[in-house]
Structure 1
Amino acid sequence: MEPRETETKARAPGLTWRNGRPVWRATKTAIAAGYPVKNVNLSSYLNQPTLLVQRCERLQAEMLAWVSGRKGRITEFDGTIRSLIEVWQADPESPYHKLKSSTKKPYDVYARMVIMEVGSKLIDDVDGRDVKRWFNAWAKPKKSGAPLQIPKARTAIAVIKSALSFGIMCRKPGCAAFKAVLAEVDFPVPASRTTAPTADDTTKVRQAARAAGHGAAALAYAIQFDGAVRQWDVIGEWVPMSDPRPSIVLDRGMKWIGPMWSQVDENQVFRFTPSKTENTTGKEVAVDFTVCPMIMEELALITSEQRKGPLIVNPVTGKPYRPDYFQKLWRTVRDAQEVSPAIWNRDLRAGGITEGRAADASTDDLAKLAGHANKRTTAKVYDRAQIEAARRVAVARAAHRSKKS
């Protein structure tokens, strides 16, 4: 189990910890733009987490206000990649502001990288060969013998493409031609993951999580595997306070969005809209817990009094799990049970679907269980078909599991 201290350190925009001391740091973008305050030692707030978070939020707001004012003067499109990305990030009508927090965070990281490394390049002066060289440089392994960082390079390219799309919308010169050039470049794609944990693997990590005092994590693993549900749709996500979605769970300058016990009805059916489709099809998915053996095993250990508020809560903090802690806990319980280190927590969903296929569950039922769109039915028919499909898949998998034991 991870140390309590690691989990309970205050978190806030710009806040970092150096040898146990809190320090606020300006972003690389702000520093590069000339912001005069690079960092602030906040040791005086060490034992006052609420004041520490408030101080960081104020420092962050001051920095953003300065950068915004600065951008108001210099972020006029001048043909450079830097100005294009800054316009994309600054314009209130840019689709950048509609990105989910989980997407915006990595985009911001790679936007800064792109600006620092190729921001001075004029769009009219670069072509596909230049971009291929950039891609190869960004994809270089961290160290000799390590795999290529293809996801990193592809995300950087995605940032450029998104900024170009907005540039085209704003009729910025050169953007349409450069976007067309990028469409002709074949960028390498990362190899598809083939690792799929088995029911036995999942049982082992659940047992280890319970032994570590994290029964809530064991329930999360069961729902991910038996219900074939994505990690974020089980544990939720922590987002900035600026996120427009409402939340009653607030902590350290952040708010939590995720599944609640109220979404599990009196028949033990869990209904939710997957995070990947909430802004597209909006289709609801349902999982009948009563036909999912692993889930029912974990639910038997949870009293009715405990079934309120967020569905999955870290017993150490009383709040939903932070993603880094949830991942550390996964590695701890996985390694304790000698489950393959190649298996990631998010592979549990794939493992559940793989088991369903091995159990001869129909492809249509598996698609419904996974929440994939079905354009041939109305929303009402889809809802009934999905819950029945989920039940048939769960029953087939349980029977298949019994045959193997």
Structure 2
Amino acid sequence: MPSDSNAPGLKRRKRKSGPDILYWVARADLVKAGYRPETVRLPYTGDDESHRNLISAACMRFQAEMLEWSSGRKRELNRFDGTILGLSRRYQTDEASPFKRLKHSTRHKDTYTLVLIEKAFGTRSLAALKIDDFYRWYGAAKKPKEPGGPERVRRAYGIIKKLREMLAFGIMAELPECKRLYDVLQHARFSQPARRRVSMELSHAEAFIAKALEMGRLSLALGTAIQFETAMRQKDVIGEWEPIPVGEAATGIVLNGRRWVNGLTWSDIAADLVVRKATTKTGAFAAHDLKLCPLVVALLDKVPTDRRVGPLILDEMAGRPFAESAYGREWRIVAKAAGVPDHVWNMDARAGAITEAEDAGADLDHIRSAAAHAQTSTTQRYSRGAVGKSRAVANLRVAHRAVKNGA
């Protein structure tokens, strides 16, 4: 067996039968600092004299790579060590990665999933992965948070989806094993989360608005009324907070290094109460005549004239637009007080608007345009339980029978 001096990092694991298993093991302090791989199994046996030089050469090579990394010369962000963690970090830091071109809000959500992936199986080598690993990870991720609770299919499917995206980037970056694993996942099938089927109804919106006014939350009442009457997304109504680019002046409305953008302002509302706005998701323009939105008109009249400047929806408690997640949190407090069921969310106002429009017999393409959707198939997914079209079909069939029987 080679000595420690000419086989640094060499460790062995004894077996009851057969030769010992040999490993090269990285220094613990450097592993803690982030060095990978932590261990490498050697394809040699210590009992075979012909393997002695091969063992020494392998250990000295792995040791040299580790020490070079330790010196800082190879600790760049884009270093890829063949593990899922290495792929994840490369995916997040490479300037050519699609991750860099995502909106900041999408990157924030994706980072949460990436952290789950890194913690759960970041040290796994891509070369060692098989389809069984992915199915096992999916099964573990969808287990209920508490015994007897619902399966977390959305969480599990999100992890698989993100792994596919990382491997697709790995193919473009010409990283080893990514093409093989991407092909494996392309042919694998995993259950997807069911589409949301809940929509806000007019009675929910009216009850919420009344309770919000009673509790002194005009902002929440107005925001909900606009969402329900116009089918605009929450983000397009109340805005969002984006990081201020490095080197750019912190102008506008700033909170904790982020600038408020994309929400409705009073300047978006013309004198004739027509609002025109580019949507944040697709950039398509949405135009709505608020004079035809009775829930909104009644609330606009309650806003003092001297307050009609800047953001339309302001947190009364803070005197500025709602901080991240604060709108949804405060909305739920009012919703509970108003008796709105817990399964009805603020985001369901958009589905409620589209469902009511279809029930009223509105043309599907007109609804698509009002919702600023690019395709009618998207609009149809937001129509939840509408009977407008089926009612029209039923009426035509009844009329047809009457004509047929009369003939």
Q: Distance in 2 between matches of 1:218 and 1:247?
A: 29
Name the counterpart of 1:142.
145
Helix, strand or coil: the match of 1:238? strand
Residues 133, 247 of structure 1: alpha-carbon distance in 2 compared, 3 angstrom cutoff: farther
Helix, strand or coil: the match of 1:345? coil
Matched, 1:82 2:85: yes
Matched-pair contact (CA < 8 Å) for 2:157–2:193: no
1:75 deviates by: 4.6
Matched-pair contact (CA < 8 Å) for 2:97–2:169: yes
1:157 deviates by: 2.1
Matched-pair contact (CA < 8 Å) for 2:238–2:321: yes
1:99 deviates by: 1.6
Name the counterpart of 1:152.
155
Matched-pair contact (CA < 8 Å) for 1:247–1:257: no
**Deviation by residue 1:324-379 (Cα, 9 ceiling, x = unmatched):** 2212222111111212111011001111111111111111111111111169xxxx
**Deviation by residue 1:243-274 (Cα, 9 ceiling, x = unmatched):** 88996110122221122221112221111122
Matched, 1:174 2:173: no
1:299 deviates by: 0.8
Amino acid at match of 2:271: E
Name the counterpart of 2:256.
252
- Stretches (4+) displaced over 4 A: 243-247
Q: What is the TM-score of this pair, normalised by structure 1? A: 0.71
Matched, 1:34 2:15: no
Gaps of 5+ in 1: 1-30, 36-68, 376-395, 397-405
Matched-pair contact (CA < 8 Å) for 1:110–1:156: yes
Q: Give percent identity, aligned residues only.
A: 33
Q: Distance in 1 between matches of 2:370 and 2:276?
A: 12
Amino acid at match of 1:329: E
Matched, 1:264 2:264: no
Amino acid at match of 2:133: D
Residues 261, 33 of structure 1: alpha-carbon distance in 2 compared, 3 angstrom cutoff: farther
Gaps of 5+ in 2: 1-29, 35-71, 377-387, 389-407
Q: Distance in 2 between matches of 1:339 and 1:368?
A: 29
Matched-pair contact (CA < 8 Å) for 1:76–1:83: yes
Amino acid at match of 1:237: E
Name the counterpart of 2:197.
194
Residues 245, 85 of structure 1: alpha-carbon distance in 2 compared, 3 angstrom cutoff: farther
Q: Distance in 1 between matches of 2:262 and 2:250?
A: 11
Residues 111, 348 of structure 1: alpha-carbon distance in 2 compared, 3 angstrom cutoff: same
Which is higher, the Rg of structure 1 or of structure 2? 2
Helix, strand or coil: the match of 1:256? strand
Q: Distance in 2 between matches of 1:73 and 1:308?
A: 48
Amino acid at match of 1:257: V
Residues 182, 247 of structure 1: alpha-carbon distance in 2 compared, 3 angstrom cutoff: farther
Helix, strand or coil: the match of 2:75? helix
Matched, 1:274 2:275: no
Name the counterpart of 1:93.
96
Name the counterpart of 1:344.
345
Q: Distance in 2 between matches of 1:247 and 1:33?
A: 41
Residues 71, 296 of structure 1: alpha-carbon distance in 2 compared, 3 angstrom cutoff: farther
Helix, strand or coil: the match of 2:206? helix
Amino acid at match of 1:204: A
1:247-396 alignment runs, 5 A limit? 248-259=252-263, 260-277=265-282, 282-373=283-374
Name the counterpart of 1:162.
165
Amino acid at match of 2:101: K
Matched-pair contact (CA < 8 Å) for 2:144–2:152: yes
Matched-pair contact (CA < 8 Å) for 1:314–1:321: yes
Name the counterpart of 2:122.
119
Determine which of 128, 132, 135 is the counterpart of 1:129.
132
Name the counterpart of 2:235.
232
Task: Pick 1 or 2: higher relative contact order, CA cutoff 8 A, min separation 6.
Answer: 1
Q: Distance in 2 between matches of 1:168 and 1:127?
A: 17
Matched-pair contact (CA < 8 Å) for 2:262–2:280: no
Q: Distance in 2 between matches of 1:104 and 1:262?
A: 30
Amino acid at match of 1:347: D
Matched-pair contact (CA < 8 Å) for 1:107–1:155: no
Amino acid at match of 2:302: L
1:240 deviates by: 2.3
Q: Distance in 1 between matches of 2:88 and 2:96?
A: 14
Q: Distance in 2 between matches of 1:129 and 1:271?
A: 51
Comparing 307-316 with 122-131, greater Cα deviation is found at 122-131
Q: What is the TM-score of this pair, normalised by structure 2? A: 0.71
Matched-pair contact (CA < 8 Å) for 2:201–2:352: yes
**Deviation by residue 1:56-110 (Cα, 9 ceiling, x = unmatched):** xxxxxxxxxxxxx798347522221111111111212322122222211121122
Determine which of 214, 220, 223 is the counterpart of 2:223.
220
Name the counterpart of 2:394.
none
Matched-pair contact (CA < 8 Å) for 2:78–2:94: no
Q: Distance in 2 between matches of 1:374 and 1:139?
A: 32
Amino acid at match of 1:34: A
1:239 deviates by: 2.4
Residues 70, 261 of structure 1: alpha-carbon distance in 2 compared, 3 angstrom cutoff: farther
Q: Distance in 2 between matches of 1:361 and 1:323?
A: 35
Matched-pair contact (CA < 8 Å) for 1:247–1:256: no
Q: How many residues align?
A: 309
Q: Distance in 2 between matches of 1:71 and 1:218?
A: 56
Matched-pair contact (CA < 8 Å) for 1:221–1:348: yes
